Amino acid sequence: MPNPEDSTVLPSFATLDVQAALSHLGGSAQLYRSVLRQFYDEYHAFNLDHADEKQRRYAIHTLKGLSGNIGAFELYAITSQIDATADHALLPRLHDALERVCSEIDRLIPPSANPPNETKSALKGAEPLCDLPTVLIVEDAQSNVDILLQLLRPYTLLVAMCGADALAYVGSRKVDLVLLDIMLPDIDGYGVCAEIKSDPQNADLPVIFLTAKTDEASLEKAYDVGGVDYVTKPFRPKELLARVRTHIRLKKTIEHLEYIASHDSMTGLYNRHKFFELALIRFEQPVQPLYAVMLDIDFFKRINDTFGHAAGDEALKAFAHVLHKESPPSALIARLGGEEFVWLDSFANDDEAILAVEAVREATSAIKILTSQGETIRLNVSAGIARYDPARHYGLDTLLLQADRCLYKAKTSGRDRSAFRC
């Protein structure tokens, strides 16, 4: 006779289809035992006699998904019918079927057989594991959370059990994909998805709905609020993993294409097109006095002619690195072309702007590039600074033109310096 404490051997249930349930759990008998005990703990005292209509709909829908996961197909059929028709005359049948299932679970899977579930707590606020994509699971039923944690082990996982927590995660963490239950205790999944998509930074964040609903109206609404796909409960592991994998790969591909389109391939800074796109937004909403800085590597042509274009490329990369590192986080910087770079930023006053530019120039003068012939190249940079003045500048172009004139002044005054108020 099988030992009920053995996590690899399952007893025979009269009310549950064990093989069907295991197919939804990746074949893990130990996980199934844990899910069954979790189901018992949540539903052995279940009663809807005093619940209002909203509470009933929520509870029935949740129980429907969980019933399918554990192979309780009589329960699944009853809850599906109530979910579709709101026929409350079926509630006594539901309570009877649920009582039989819970009684059998308690008899065949005693509490001591439930292994400590450390995976759940360890992964709830997990730090990213290397470069693994991060999946946010938004699901209020602990049994479903346990199943998803098991099935999605190839990813870094975050868990939110209500809509508010999900929005907090998306607002504070880098998330690559959201698995979102439609029925949640506070904000429903539709509202959560709509809120996520209202932020332009999350416009391309893929949201896959998890649902026991299969009616056309519910699924259409999931797409209308910004969902990219849906997975029905009970989960089918291969389908779930395939959909997650496909949408993460698609997101990474889109991000890569957007990066190529907006960044200079040599230096990794923004390219000319992206700079003007972002600069126009910054220009129209200045918080502090706005400054434009044009920067040019001194005697760059001489570097190319003397040491070759490979050395020139290294010079561009080295200066771009310094410019990115030494400029404030608020700086909008780009390579306009050749050895010319641009920097748009807000500063409290002229002195602060000049000090920031001089810090970049000083760091640049410390660069040493060793050529293949063993020679050392030292870099210097000239800069032109212009402050936006509505009385003088009719737009971004005129501001940049003044900064360019100041750069020309710095060049003709001996290079390796900055010029302001030209």
Q: What residues contact 106, with CB distance under 8 A and at least 6 apart?
A: 40, 44
Q: What residues contact 29, with CB distance under 8 A and at least 6 apart?
A: 7, 8, 9, 10, 22
Task: Give the pLDDT of residue 233.
Answer: 84
Q: Residue 422: name the closest of 378, 374, 386 by CA.
A: 386
For residue 70, what is the enclosing H or E element?
helix 53-70
Q: Tokens 């930074």 label which residue?
A: 201
In 263-349, alpha helices (H): 272-284, 300-307, 309-326
| Local structure of residue 296 (DSSP, 8 states) | E
Instruction: Work out whether strand 290-297 and strand 340-346 pair parallel, antiparallel, or are unpaired.
Output: antiparallel
- Topology of 118-261 in CATH? Rossmann fold (3.40.50)
The values of phi and psi at residue 383, to 5°, are: -140, 145
Per domain, the residue ranges of the chain are 18-113, 118-261, 272-420
pTM over 0.95, yes/no: no
* Mean pLDDT, 10 residues at a time, the chain of 422 residues: 49 88 83 87 82 83 85 89 84 89 88 49 45 91 88 92 94 94 90 94 94 84 94 87 95 93 96 95 83 96 92 95 95 96 96 96 94 89 94 86 96 95 82
For residue 32, what is the enclosing H or E element?
helix 29-43
- Two domains, one topology: 118-261 and 272-420: no
- Topology of 272-420 in CATH? Alpha-Beta Plaits (3.30.70)
Question: Quick one: tokens of 401?
Answer: 């033109």
Task: Give the pLDDT of residue 123.
Answer: 42
Q: Residue 368: name the closest of 314, 308, 300 by CA.
A: 314
Beta strands in 125-265 (DSSP E): 134-138, 156-160, 177-181, 207-211, 229-232
Task: Give the pLDDT of residue 130.
Answer: 52
Instruction: Confirm if 301 and 242 have CB atoms less than 8 A apart.
Output: no
Instruction: Confirm if 56 and 34 have CB atoms less than 8 A apart.
Output: no
